[in-house]
Amino acid sequence: MMYDVSHRTVYRYSTPVVQSQHIVHMSPRPVDRQRIRGHVLSIEPSPTIRTERIDYFGNRVVLFDIEQEHRELIVHARSTIGVTAPGAIDFSATTPWDEVAHRISSPRAGTDIEVARYACASRHTRTTHDIAAYARKSFPAGRPVLQGAWDLVERIYDDFTFDPTATDISTPVTQVLAQRRGVCQDFSHLALACLRSLRLSARYVSGYILTRPPVGTPRLAGADASHAWISVWSPEYGWVDFDPTNGLTPKDEHITIAYARDYDDVSPIGGILLGGNEHSVHVGVDVIPQG
């Protein structure tokens, strides 16, 4: 599938911003099964300084500094991206999870640091006894690692309710577990906390998903949204994606922008301001299939 993706964010401030500095994760990552045909990031007002680099996790990052007064900031990313569905994966044919955990945590096993670093807890994925207990139900001794991950994802999908009013990005994963409600970032953070409680390597993936309006209802411009899911490592298949919000394994309708430990590492826009006082923000996302 080929997609045109538009992600437009508009900030409006009640008083002028004298200076602002921002970091942006909106440049699609050229991962396996994904081809970047084009990408443009426009910023208004025009930055005084703009640089690009690759971050610690290998994601493309744009940093910019605006040194003129402004009451409005517009950041608009437009990309054309091709996505190919993965081949068949036999979850039951993967290494038992406890052997994988030992391999990851043992210095003598020689596990690549790229894998091992995703077994560690992060700010949004700190584990507790309750989180570990929830995870253990999917991982009896000797169960194949990806089979256990799939069972965990299905349980989160069945046990939790999607509710955009229940949480915000500061809501701890312990509260998400207790109230059984949240959004894609919450369910991804919970899944990661569960997997990392077992010393398994799993990473947070940010991107977009193709949404389909109800039959007979026209697609609304700007009504799509950013999405989040997870990727779990096994020795046989490497990194395999799972979407706990939708209870599925991504095929060719998930578009990857970046991956890291959790949302904080790859939030679309972050920054600091001098001035501005109160502000409003409007985000419009469109994911348009081109065939």
Q: Give the model confidence (pLDDT) of 10-21 as tens digits.
A: 999 999 999 999
Q: 49 with 20: CB under 8 angstroms?
A: no
Same domain, 53 and 174: no
Query: Are 98 and 237 contained in the same domain?
Result: yes
Q: Cis omega before residue 45 (within 30°)? A: yes
Question: Is residue 158 located within the same domain as residue 19?
Answer: no
Residue 256 maps to a domain:
no
Q: Are residues 123 and 234 in the same domain?
A: yes
If one counts every other C-beta atom within 10 angstroms of the C-beta of residue 247, the result is 15
If you average pLDDT over residues 228-242, what whole number do you get? Answer: 97
pLDDT tens, position by position, 127-150:
999 999 999 999 999 999 999 999
Q: To the nearest whole percent, how much of the chain has pLDDT over 90?
A: 87
Quick check: is 165 in a domain? yes
Note whether 96 and 70 are same-domain residues: no
> 33 and 113 in one domain?
no
Strand partners, 74: 10, 44
Same domain, 208 and 128: yes
Q: Is 195 inside a domain boundary?
A: yes
Residue 255 resides in a domain: no
Residue 260 lies in a domain: no
> What's the distance, CA 124 to chain centroid?
12
In CATH, what number is assigned to the domain containing residue 61?
2.60.40.2250
Domain for residue 261, yes or no? no
Angle subtended at Cα 249 by Cα 243 and Cα 253, rounded to the nearest 5 degrees: 85
Task: Report yes or no on 245 lying in a domain.
Answer: yes
Indicate whether 35 and 133 sit together in one domain. no
- Whether 20 and 119 map to the same domain: the answer is no
**Contact in structure between 287 and 209 (CB atoms under 8 Å):** yes
Tell whether the model's pLDDT for residue 223 goes beyond 70. no
> 36-82: per-residue pLDDT in tens?
999 999 999 999 999 999 999 999 999 999 999 999 999 999 999 99
pTM, two decimals, is: 0.93
- pLDDT bin (cut points 50, 70, 90) of residue 225 is confident
Q: Which candidate, 202, 237, 257, places its Cα nearest to that of 34?
A: 257
Q: Are both 24 and 71 inside the same structural domain?
A: yes
For residues 126 and 216, membership in a common domain is answered with yes
Domain annotation covers residue 258 = no
Residue whose token pair is 């990052």: 61
Beta-carbon count within 10 A of 34 CB: 17
Amino acid at 119: A
Are residues 218 and 110 located together in one domain of the fold?
yes
Instruction: Give the total number of structural domains in the chain.
Output: 2
Give residue 44's domain range: 2-84+267-289
Q: What is the CATH number of the domain that holds 146?
A: 3.10.620.30
Q: Kindly report, residue by residue over 173-197, the tens digit of the pLDDT.
A: 999 999 999 999 999 999 999 999 9
